[in-house]
Chain A
Amino acid sequence: MDLFIAIFTGTIVAATPLVLAALGELVVEKSGVLNLGIEGMMLTGAALAFGVALAGLPLPLAIVAGVAGGAASSMLFGVLALTFLTNQYAAGLALAIFGSGLSAMIGNGFGNTPIAALGTLHIPVLSDIPLVGPLIFRFDILVYFSLFMVVFIGWFLYRTKAGLVLRTIGESPQSAHAIGYPVVRIRYLAVLFGGAMAGLAGAYLSVVYTPLWVENMTAGRGWIALALVVFSTWRPYRVLLGAWLFGGMTILQLQGQVLGIALPSELLSALPYLATIVVLVIISRNRQMLALNFPASLAKPFRPAG
């Protein structure tokens, strides 16, 4: 039973940075912008958050620093892609590489000093219920925040006018502009939000998940988040499912390595990536779903006429 609880909670925690980063990217892509730089924004956020925590400042401040770092780095992409209309693929890749280098530079002096990680919540009564308590009520606050954001983004996109405007800008910025919506400004806001969420995801990795600085500690999670958005056919709830799958496979393969399963450990380490992509590819084969949710103007630069 303890093993089950460990696997379950481990899955949820491992999935959280993916959920955060992928939700941010989902909003960006729904506005018709493709920011490939998630990995770089996550690393920037992770390094800044860790640095603030290492300096002895309170952890909430460290997390805010991570969010700010992600948001600030996303503006690098924003200015290139939205104001100067550079190719979004190139600008995003540049941000990914830049963020990775920048974070390595920031983290240069961090050494091998661990920090005290953000603790889990202890809710009176609820957290003490047998089985249910450890399974549901003993996570850190960011886990609950990420779940709240899944519901919130779903509601925002499909139930509010602002969400409707965002989606239609992703379909046809020309038409949205013709009706009188400020396409570029809204896209900037979306990119900024995506950056903040990626920064938060990075901060989660460095001050909650593994409170120790390691260069390139995101280990490709930014790219997995990117894949999650596409294969989830741009639906928030599917992003959550995909992230759980990835988190579950991560924990299972760790358990497998501990138990000494007779498979090369490299193969086991690759398993979460393989399994997530295979399952999501199968899910996303529904072309109707894909065509309805795909932001038709994705990655196409838009310049308002006149």
Chain B
Amino acid sequence: MIPRLELRNICKRYPGVVANDDVSLSILPGEIHAVLGENGAGKSTLMKIIYGAVQADSGEILCDGNPIHSHNPAVSRALGIEMVYQHFALFESVSVVENIALSVTTPFNLAALSRKVLELSQRYGMPIDPARLVHNLSVGERQRVEILRCLLQNPKLLILDEPTSVLTPQAVLRLFDTLRQLAAEGCSILYISHKLDEVQTLCDTATVFRNGRVTGTARPKQTTATELARMMVGSKLPEMHVSPPVPAEKPMLEIRGLSAAATDIYGVDLADISFDVFGGEIVGIAGVSGNGQAELVSLLSGERLHPQSNAIRIGGIASGHLDADGRRRAGIAFVPEERLGRGAVPAHSLIENGLLTGHRLGSVRHGMVDRKRAADFSRDIVEKFKVKTNGVRAKAQSLSGGNLQKFIVGREIALQPKLLLVSQPTWGVDVGAAAFIRQTLVDLSRAGAAVLIVSEELDELFEICDRLLVICNGRLSKSLIRTQTDREEVGLLMTGLDGSVVANGGDSLALHD
């Protein structure tokens, strides 16, 4: 059989980095092929080369046996190659069908297009209302729009870049059903992921990447996860040491009946949220993004104040009225979700970024910066947390995501917080750095601090948290003991389908995930 797509010896260099080094792979019609590798292994670059958004320095691309010359996205679309990006390229202010109309070449007729979209969405089990405005859609629904947009072109090869990173476990299963159905109809699927279990469930073959090179091909269904992981990471992953929690007697953080209206029109109102975090334990808040996490985090960090100071108590003291500085004085440290722009100033040096929150440790006196102390403070963090950098004068934006995150976490831990609030601790961080950061958080809690983690990565929460809370539509679930719950229960809570919402038929349920 002639492969649908064949890559021969693709190379791509950027200044200082080899993104793809002599990469070859081939996909048959109707095959689901995984491209497996860590963040930064060169997968995304390769996909852009296949799609024509980026040109390879050397190598050949063949589609149905014919070499592609002078490649670009228009050529791809003409050949039936479609791509669903990890970060969606949808326009927020217009409707679903208008978004789709922008990328099809058929005459402009929204009514006819809506009918076609509905028909396709029913055929592949991806319900969506074409008239809705995109900014009202959940992430899962947006992904459906992207996939439907591709399907309208009758693709022969569909590329999906980390498609499940934003989905609930249940939505992932539905997506897999759709993909299997497509493959059965002869469409080849190139599935980019760093999640071993998904690749093992879905894919027929896998090409594994490390540092821009292919380190192996495998039949994931017949290969063990350990083997795949070894190809992917190159060495054995450090093992986590999570000892049983020793919670303190009194809670460090008490939230009681916290309600707040969203400040952003696309935001979520928080309704009657109550929970405790004790010293010596890690509590995780799970949920699909956009369910009130941003609002809750800004209220806890003090970026936003709450009129009822009793709704938030830190170390037993009413703190709702305290601003971010007041909260930090009360013993909170905070690692925000956005590393660049919130956790660190991109164009400033590590020394200056260390000062942002480390200034209370003696490096600023009488309003003057003690340059030497400030440099020592940042140098300590760099050494202790093994931050790879050209020195403490390097700009924050010159560090890789993992290294900057290690620096920010290190800076906050250096403050010896009684309560550490961390949002998406390992988002976009490579496997090694992620494991290091998680172990650091566990160690901090076992030394007596209270740790609260807000994350969308269920794997991460199940790995290190002692208790889990699930946030859905601005409401918080009851507290779950990690060892007494499972992904399915948490997944149902994430979609609000745990029985607290009356079910009324599959379709309408699916619409609200």
Taking beta carbons and an 8 Å cutoff, which residues of A are in contact with B? 160-161, 164-165, 167-168, 171-172, 175-176, 178-181, 287-288, 291-293, 296
**Please, what's the 1-or-0 string for B490-506, where 1 marks a CB less than 8 Å from any CB in chain A?**
00000000000000000
Name 8 A/B residue pairs within 8 A (Cβ), A-sorted. Answer: A160-B108, A164-B102, A168-B93, A171-B93, A179-B89, A179-B103, A180-B73, A293-B93
Given contacts A178-B53, A292-B93, A292-B135, 13 further A-B pairs with CB under 8 A are A161-B108, A164-B98, A167-B91, A168-B94, A171-B94, A176-B102, A179-B89, A179-B102, A179-B103, A180-B73, A181-B102, A287-B265, A288-B265
Contacting residues, chain B, for A181 (C-beta < 8 A): 102
B92, A164: Cβ atoms closer than 8 Å:
no
Contacting B93 at CB < 8 Å: which of A167, A176, A180? A167
Taking beta carbons and an 8 Å cutoff, which residues of B are in contact with A? 53, 73-74, 89-94, 98, 101-103, 108, 133, 135, 265-266
Contacting residues, chain B, for A175 (C-beta < 8 A): 89-91
> Which residue, B73, B102, B265, has most C-beta atoms of chain A within 10 A?
B102
B88 to chain A: closest residue by CB: A175
A171, B91: Cβ atoms closer than 8 Å:
yes
B265, A168: Cβ atoms closer than 8 Å:
no
> Which residue, A165, A168, A172, A287, has most C-beta atoms of chain B within 10 A?
A168
How far is the CB of B55 from the nearest CB of chain A, in Å? 9
Contacting residues, chain A, for B103 (C-beta < 8 A): 179
B73, A168: Cβ atoms closer than 8 Å:
no
How far is the CB of A29 from the nearest CB of chain B, in Å? 14
How far is the CB of A58 from the nearest CB of chain B, in Å? 39
B107 to chain A: closest residue by CB: A161
Query: Complex Cα distance A165/B102, Å?
Result: 7
Given contacts A180-B73, A180-B74, contact A168 B91 (CB under 8 A): yes
Query: Complex Cα distance A171/B102, Å?
Result: 13
Query: Complex Cα distance A290/B87, Å?
Result: 25
How far is the CB of B476 from the nearest CB of chain A, in Å? 27
A171, B98: Cβ atoms closer than 8 Å:
no
Given contacts A160-B108, A180-B73, contact A296 B93 (CB under 8 A): yes
Interface SS of chain B: loop
Query: Complex Cα distance A172/B102, Å?
Result: 13
Contacting residues, chain A, for B135 (C-beta < 8 A): 292
B265, A164: Cβ atoms closer than 8 Å:
no
> Which residue, B73, B89, B93, B135, has most C-beta atoms of chain A within 10 A?
B93
Query: Complex Cα distance A180/B108, Å?
Result: 17
B89, A168: Cβ atoms closer than 8 Å:
no
How far is the CB of B86 from the nearest CB of chain A, in Å? 14
Query: Complex Cα distance A165/B91, Å?
Result: 10
Contacting residues, chain B, for A167 (C-beta < 8 A): 91, 93-94
Contacting B101 at CB < 8 Å: which of A164, A180, A292, A293? A164
Query: Complex Cα distance A175/B103, Å?
Result: 11
Contacting residues, chain A, for B90 (C-beta < 8 A): 175
A168 to chain B: closest residue by CB: B91
> Which residue, A172, A175, A181, has most C-beta atoms of chain B within 10 A?
A175
Contacting residues, chain A, for B108 (C-beta < 8 A): 160-161
Contacting A178 at CB < 8 Å: which of B89, B93, B266? B89
Query: Complex Cα distance A181/B89, Å?
Result: 14
How far is the CB of A170 from the nearest CB of chain B, in Å? 9
Contacting residues, chain B, for A160 (C-beta < 8 A): 108
Given contacts A168-B94, A172-B91, contact A291 B101 (CB under 8 A): no
B133 to chain A: closest residue by CB: A292
B55 to chain A: closest residue by CB: A306
Query: Complex Cα distance A296/B73, Å?
Result: 26
Query: Complex Cα distance A157/B266, Å?
Result: 24
Contacting residues, chain B, for A161 (C-beta < 8 A): 101, 108
B92, A171: Cβ atoms closer than 8 Å:
yes
Contacting residues, chain A, for B265 (C-beta < 8 A): 287-288, 291
Query: Complex Cα distance A160/B103, Å?
Result: 15
Query: Complex Cα distance A172/B89, Å?
Result: 9
A294 to chain B: closest residue by CB: B93
Contacting residues, chain A, for B101 (C-beta < 8 A): 161, 164
How far is the CB of B107 from the nearest CB of chain A, in Å? 9
Query: Complex Cα distance A161/B90, Å?
Result: 16
Query: Complex Cα distance A164/B103, Å?
Result: 12
Query: Complex Cα distance A161/B110, Å?
Result: 10
Q: Which 8 A-B pairs have the closest CB atoms?
A: A161-B108, A175-B89, A168-B91, A291-B265, A179-B103, A171-B91, A171-B93, A288-B265
Contacting residues, chain A, for B133 (C-beta < 8 A): 292
B85 to chain A: closest residue by CB: A178
Contacting residues, chain A, for B53 (C-beta < 8 A): 178
B90 to chain A: closest residue by CB: A175
B53 to chain A: closest residue by CB: A178
Given contacts A179-B103, A291-B265, contact A164 B74 (CB under 8 A): no
A161 to chain B: closest residue by CB: B108
Query: Complex Cα distance A271/B54, Å?
Result: 58
Contacting residues, chain B, for A172 (C-beta < 8 A): 89, 91
How far is the CB of A259 from the nearest CB of chain B, in Å? 46
Contacting residues, chain A, for B98 (C-beta < 8 A): 164
Contacting residues, chain B, for A292 (C-beta < 8 A): 93, 133, 135
How far is the CB of A184 from the nearest CB of chain B, in Å? 17
How far is the CB of A158 from the nearest CB of chain B, in Å? 10
Query: Complex Cα distance A164/B109, Å?
Result: 12
How far is the CB of A179 from the nearest CB of chain B, in Å? 5
B94, A164: Cβ atoms closer than 8 Å:
yes
